[in-house]
A = this chain, B = another copy of it.
Amino acid sequence: MKRKIKIISPIALAAIFLPAVVSADDQDIVEYREHIMKTLDEQSAAVGMILSTVVPGDNMAAHLQAIALTAQTALKSFEPKVLGGEARPEVWNNWADFSKRMNDFAKNTALVAAQAKGKRSDDPELGEAVVDALSCKSCHDAYRKEKK
C-alpha cells in the first residue's frame, strides 16, 4: 500500500520554495492530526453528557482512558511543521509552550483516567478533576483558529 517514490518534478520543486503551497503529503499530515483532535472532541462531548447526567455514566472510566490515550498521541501528530486545518502558526512559533501544554494535557488526563477507575461517574470530586483535566479552551484560544 506504500505510495510510489515520486521523482521530484518542477511542480514539487516549486512547492519546496513556496511554503504556502500544500502538497498531498501535507494534506495527509493535517488530516491525520484532525482525526486525533476530533476524537478528543467526540470523547469530551460524551464525558460532558455523562457529567450533566443526561446519559448513564457506565462508560465514564473508559471514555477518560480513551481521552488519555488520544492525548498521548496528539503531540506527535503536530511535530511535522505543516500549516493548515485549524492550527494557528503559533503552534510551531511557540513550540516550547505548545508542547509543554500538550504534555501536561496527556499527563493530567492519564491521572484523571486512573482516578476514575472504580468510581461512580457522579462522584463530585471526580467531576471537578475531569473538568480541570479537560480544560481545552485556553489552548484552543491560543493555538486554534476554528473553522465555522
Contacts and interface: CB of A to CB of B under 8 A. Distances in A.
A21 interface: no
A122 to B, nearest CB: 8
A49 B76 contact: no
A76 B54 contact: no
Interface string A44-86: 0110010111111011001101100110110011000000000
Contacts of A43: 35, 39, 70
A42 interface: yes
Nearest to A70: B66
Interface residues of A, number: 35
How many identical subunits does the complex contain? Answer: 2
Given A38-B38, A39-B39, A66-B70, A58 B46 contact: no
9 contacts: A1-B52, A36-B42, A55-B77, A59-B73, A62-B69, A65-B69, A66-B66, A66-B69, A69-B69
Given A1-B51, A31-B45, 18 more contacts: A2-B52, A2-B53, A3-B54, A31-B49, A32-B46, A35-B43, A35-B49, A36-B42, A36-B46, A36-B59, A38-B38, A39-B46, A55-B77, A58-B76, A59-B76, A65-B69, A66-B69, A66-B73
9 interchain residue pairs of minimum CB distance:
A59-B73, A35-B46, A28-B54, A32-B55, A39-B42, A66-B69, A35-B42, A1-B52, A2-B53
